[in-house]
Amino acid sequence: MGHGKLRKFAENETFRCLLQPDAASVLAKPEGSKELILRDHAIKGRWNAEMFAKPQPIVVELGCGKGDYTIALARRHPEMNFIGVDIKGARLWKGAKEATEDALGNVAFLRTRIEFIDAFFGPSEVSEIWLTFSDPQLRGSENARLTSPLFLQRYSRFLAPGGIVHLKTDSRFLYEYTQSVIRANDLQVLASGTDIYSEGVRTGVTLENRRSATPPIKDGPLPLMRPRVATGFQESPLSDNVEWDIESVFEVQTFYESMFLKMGLPITYLAFRLDRADLPAGAPFAYPTDFDATYWREAEGPRRSFSHQPTKG
């Protein structure tokens, strides 16, 4: 291990905004069992009380990397609290250091595996989830995709009713897979776009009008238009009183996103809710049956390995 990483790990221990739980705090082996089980961490349900300057709605970014997106959203919205989650301590160091040096009281970071995420958040503790340029797991397990039914089940345990899941990705494979999961579970799409910087974002895409049209599975993107939306987390003219700053979808960018845009690659976006009024709480999410993985895997091309290479510094 290089001296740079050792220095960052040591400095991470000094950042109050960075929580780095050890495995023993979230994993336990019941007496007489050979299997480890996930258990609640002490921070669960207490983020506003323990980690932030004041209690406010909480937004979580999963797979935040160096935390640039988390930091940018937090600067844009001081009326909300933001938590970036990643397993790489050397990456989290950058965001935690910036939040500490700039005294950002609405920023925190959590170092953990995303598979353990519901050990850290209580029911309705989180208002929004951002998934930014997640690994689409082109050839990996479906359950490893962060929009799989397995992960949506985890999110549903702590996302507040009406809470929003945002997916921003350069992977059309992951975008189309997520659309299939949404259809399989009758979830409400609030906004969507397959090339948001060229064609904008379609808003108010309800289940009914989405089903009344032929889905653009293999015929390219829908014609989209960028909406006129009130800035800030205020009431907007979108369907069902959607309340989020749609402009941040365009104006806040990750490192990879900026790089992809310079290369002329399209960026996709989805916003949707997990609420399912016709099913009991805790009911499992259904797996999609209409996703053509082979087609979208071939359409994706080889650049996926490029976008998820580890970074230095």
Report the catalytic residues. Answer: 135
Ramachandran region, residue 21 (left: φ > 0; alpha: ψ -120 to 50; beta: rest)? beta
8 Å CB contact between 107 and 143: no
Three-state SS for the chain is CCHHHHHHHHHHCCCCCEECCCHHHCEECCCCCCCCEECCCCCCCCHHHHCCCCCCCEEEEECCCCCHHHHHHHHHCCCCEEEEEECCHHHHHHHHHHHHHCCCCCEEEEECCHHHHHHCCCCCCEEEEEEECCCCCCCCCHHHCCCCHHHHHHHHCCEEEEEEEEEEECCHHHHHHHHHHHHHCCCCEEEEECCHHHHCCEECCCHHHHHCCCCCCCCCCCCCCCCCCCCCCCCCCCHHHCCCCCHHHHHCCCHHHHHHHHCCCCCEEEEEECCCCCCCCCCCCCCCCCCCHHHHHHHHCCCHHHHCCCCCC
Token reading at 278: 């016709």
137 contacts 145 by C-beta, under 8 angstroms:
yes
The pair of structure tokens assigned to 297 is 């895997």
